[in-house]
Amino acid sequence: MVEGGSRSILVAGGGFSGLAVIAELVRQAESGDISIAWLDERGHFGKGVAYGQDDPHYLLNVRADRMGLFAEEPQGFYTWLQEGESLVAADAYVSRALYGKYLVALREKILTDAKEKGISVVMEQARITGASPDSQGLLLTTDRGAYGGGLLVLATGNGDAKCFPWVRPETKTYLPSLWDKGSWDKLSSMAVSHPERPVFLLGSGLTMVDATVRLARELPHIRVLALSRHGLLPCAHSEETSAKQTGWRKPDIALSASALMCFLREEAAQAQALGVPWQHVMDAMRPDTPALWRGLGSDGQRRALRHAISWWNVHRHRIPAPALRLLEQRRANGFLEIVAGRILDVADTADGLEVMVEERSIRRRVAASVMLNCTGPQLDIRRSANPLIMDLYKQGALQPSANGLGVAVTEQGAAKGSWKNLVYPIGPLLAGEDLETTAVPEIRRHAALLARRLLERR
CATH number at residue 437: 3.50.50.60
Kind of pairing, strands 362-368 and 35-40? unpaired
Q: Are residues 302 and 348 in the same domain?
A: no
Tally of domains within the chain: 3
pLDDT digits (tens, 9 = 90+) for 219-240: 999 999 999 999 999 999 998 8
12 belongs to a structural domain: yes
What is the C-alpha separation between 425 and 412, in angstroms, rounded? 11
Q: Are residues 304 and 323 in the same domain?
A: no
Structural domain ending residue among the three candidates 297, 316, 335: 316
Question: What pLDDT is recorded for position 202?
Answer: 97
Question: What pLDDT is recorded for position 2?
Answer: 44
| Percent of the chain's residues with pLDDT above 90 | 80
Q: Are residues 302 and 322 in the same domain?
A: no
Q: Are residues 287 and 405 in the same domain?
A: no
3 belongs to a structural domain: no
Question: What pLDDT is recorded for position 135?
Answer: 86
220 belongs to a structural domain: yes
86 belongs to a structural domain: yes
1 belongs to a structural domain: no
Question: What pLDDT is recorded for position 4?
Answer: 44
Q: Are residues 196 and 325 in the same domain?
A: yes
pLDDT digits (tens, 9 = 90+) for 266-296: 999 999 998 899 999 999 999 999 999 999 9
Q: Are residues 125 and 268 in the same domain?
A: no
Q: Are residues 362 and 301 in the same domain?
A: no
* Beta carbons within 10 angstroms of residue 396's beta carbon: 11
Question: What pLDDT is recorded for position 458?
Answer: 64
CB 196 within 8 A of CB 190: no
pTM for the full model? 0.93
Question: What pLDDT is recorded for position 243?
Answer: 62
Q: Are residues 52 and 67 in the same domain?
A: yes
* Ramachandran assignment for 269, one of left (phi > 0), alpha (psi -120 to 50 degrees), beta (any other): alpha
Q: Are residues 351 and 203 in the same domain?
A: yes
CA dist list (Å): 231 to 134, 342, 347: 50, 10, 23
292 belongs to a structural domain: yes
Structural domain ending residue among the three candidates 316, 337, 353: 316
Q: Are residues 132 and 86 in the same domain?
A: yes
Phi (first) and psi of residue 18, to 5 degrees: -65, -45
* Beta carbons within 10 angstroms of residue 181's beta carbon: 8
What domain range is 36 assigned to?
8-160+378-456
Residues forming beta bridges with residue 145, ordered by sequence position: 142
What is the C-alpha separation between 192 and 169, in angstroms, rounded? 23
* Beta carbons within 10 angstroms of residue 425's beta carbon: 30
Phi (first) and psi of residue 454, to 5 degrees: -65, -40
218 belongs to a structural domain: yes
Question: What pLDDT is recorded for position 242?
Answer: 66
244 belongs to a structural domain: no
Structural domain ending residue among the three candidates 331, 357, 373: 373
* Ramachandran assignment for 43, one of left (phi > 0), alpha (psi -120 to 50 degrees), beta (any other): left
pLDDT digits (tens, 9 = 90+) for 116-128: 999 999 999 999 9
Question: What pLDDT is recorded for position 76?
Answer: 96
Write out residues in the chain with pLDDT < 70, as ranges. 1-6, 242-245, 458
Q: Are residues 79 and 148 in the same domain?
A: yes
Q: Are residues 109 and 135 in the same domain?
A: yes
